[in-house]
Amino acid sequence: MSEISKDENVLKSAGAERAESRTDELFKKRVIAFTVGAVVLLAVLLILMCYQLIKIGVENSRKTEYITAIAELEAIKNDNSKTIEIMQKKWWIVQRARDLGYEYPDDIGD
């Protein structure tokens, strides 16, 4: 009987070792899966962050270009409004008419 109980104990301990090794293997597989998932997630997040940084840089350069263009257009507008004020004065209109060949009755002829 003792040989049977020893064999049973050996079988039980072998089964326990197998179960333990399976548990260890499952744990290792889960750790590896978790690690791979975390690395993939971090890679995706890093790529998204780089994309956003590039996009922000492009938008900032566009904003700078727009601000520069607005400043230039405002300067042109101010210059044109001065020119319009000058061209609306009577002496400018009279001079322009004379340049085009029009004569006024009170002009002194050549």
Unique residue bearing structure tokens 């978790």 = 34
Q: Is the pLDDT of residue 77 over 80?
A: yes
For the record, the structure tokens of 47 come out as 């790529």
Q: Is the pLDDT of residue 107 over 70?
A: no
For the record, the structure tokens of 104 come out as 């006024």
Q: Is the pLDDT of residue 82 over 80?
A: no
- Which segments of 1-110 does DSSP mark as H helices, in order? 2-87, 90-99
- Amino acid found at 97: A
Q: Is the pLDDT of residue 72 over 80?
A: yes
For the record, the structure tokens of 48 come out as 């998204």
Q: Is the pLDDT of residue 79 over 70?
A: yes
pLDDT of 4:
61
pLDDT of 68:
95
- Amino acid found at 33: A
Model confidence pLDDT, tens digit, residues 13-71: 666 667 677 888 889 999 999 999 999 999 999 999 999 999 999 999 999 999 999 99
Helix 90-99 × helix 2-87 angle, to 10°: 80
CB within 8 A of 94, min separation 6: which ones? 104
